[in-house]
A = this chain, B = another copy of it.
Amino acid sequence: MRVERIAVLGAGNAGHAAAADLTLAGYDVNLFEVPELERNIEPILERGGIEIQGAAREGFARVKLATTNIKDAVRNVDLIMITVPSSYHAAFAEICAPYLEDGQIVVLNPGHTGGALEFAKKIGDLGIRRDVKIAETMTLTYVCRIVGPAKVKVFHVHKKLLFAAFPAKDTGEAHEAFRELYPNTIAAKNVMETGLTNTGAILHPAGMVMNAGWIERTKGDFLFYVDGITPSVARVAEAVDSERMKIMGAFGLRAVSFPELYFEGGYTPVRASTTFEALQSTVADRQLRAPSFLTHRYVDEYVKCGLIPMAEIGDLVGVNTPTIKALIHLSCTMNNVNYWAEGRTLERMGVPRVGISSLNDWLETGHY
Question: Which residues of A are interface residues toward B (Cβ below 8 A)?
Answer: 207, 209-214, 216-217, 222, 227-233, 235-236, 239, 294, 322-323, 325-327, 329-330, 333-336
Also in contact, A213 and B239, with CB within 8 A (given A323-B333, A333-B323) = no
**Complex Cα spacing A210 to B207, Å:** 9
**Complex Cα spacing A99 to B252, Å:** 61
Chain B residue with the shortest CB-CB distance to A224:
B213
The interface residues of chain B lying within 8 Å CB-to-CB of A230 are 212-213, 216-217
**Complex Cα spacing A209 to B217, Å:** 15
The interface residues of chain B lying within 8 Å CB-to-CB of A235 are 333-334, 336
**Complex Cα spacing A330 to B328, Å:** 12
Are A232's CB and B216's CB within 8 A? yes
Also in contact, A210 and B329, with CB within 8 A (given A231-B216, A232-B216, A233-B216) = no
Are A329's CB and B322's CB within 8 A? yes
Chain B residue with the shortest CB-CB distance to A226:
B217
Interface centre among A211, A213, A323 (most CB of B within 10 A): A213
Which of the residues B228, B232, B329 comes within 8 Å of A326, measured between beta carbons?
B329
Are B236's CB and A213's CB within 8 A? no
The interface residues of chain B lying within 8 Å CB-to-CB of A322 are 329
Are A217's CB and B228's CB within 8 A? yes
The interface residues of chain B lying within 8 Å CB-to-CB of A213 are 207, 210-211, 214, 227-230, 232-233
Chain B residue with the shortest CB-CB distance to A230:
B216
Are A334's CB and B236's CB within 8 A? yes
Chain B residue with the shortest CB-CB distance to A209:
B210
The interface residues of chain B lying within 8 Å CB-to-CB of A236 are 330, 333-334
CB distance from A44 to the nearest CB of B (A): 36
**Complex Cα spacing A154 to B229, Å:** 36
The interface residues of chain B lying within 8 Å CB-to-CB of A212 are 210-211, 230, 232-233
Chain B residue with the shortest CB-CB distance to A322:
B329
The interface residues of chain B lying within 8 Å CB-to-CB of A232 are 212-213, 216, 294, 334-335
Are B227's CB and A217's CB within 8 A? yes
Chain B residue with the shortest CB-CB distance to A233:
B213
Further 15 A-B residue pairs, CB within 8 A, beyond A212-B232, A213-B232, A217-B228: A207-B213, A210-B210, A210-B330, A212-B230, A213-B227, A213-B228, A213-B229, A213-B233, A216-B230, A216-B232, A217-B227, A232-B335, A236-B333, A236-B334, A325-B326
Also in contact, A233 and B334, with CB within 8 A (given A209-B210, A211-B213, A211-B214) = yes
CB distance from A299 to the nearest CB of B (A): 10
The 17 sampled A-B contact pairs (Cβ below 8 Å) are A207-B213, A210-B212, A211-B213, A212-B230, A212-B232, A213-B228, A213-B230, A216-B231, A217-B222, A217-B227, A232-B335, A235-B334, A236-B333, A323-B329, A323-B330, A323-B333, A326-B330
CB distance from A43 to the nearest CB of B (A): 33
CB distance from A74 to the nearest CB of B (A): 40
Which 8 pairs, one residue from A and one from B, show the smallest C-beta to C-beta distance?
A: A326-B326, A216-B230, A214-B214, A232-B334, A211-B213, A210-B212, A326-B329, A213-B228
**Complex Cα spacing A310 to B211, Å:** 25
Are A333's CB and B239's CB within 8 A? yes
CB distance from A327 to the nearest CB of B (A): 8
Are A334's CB and B217's CB within 8 A? no
**Complex Cα spacing A57 to B216, Å:** 39
CB distance from A258 to the nearest CB of B (A): 15
CB distance from A107 to the nearest CB of B (A): 35
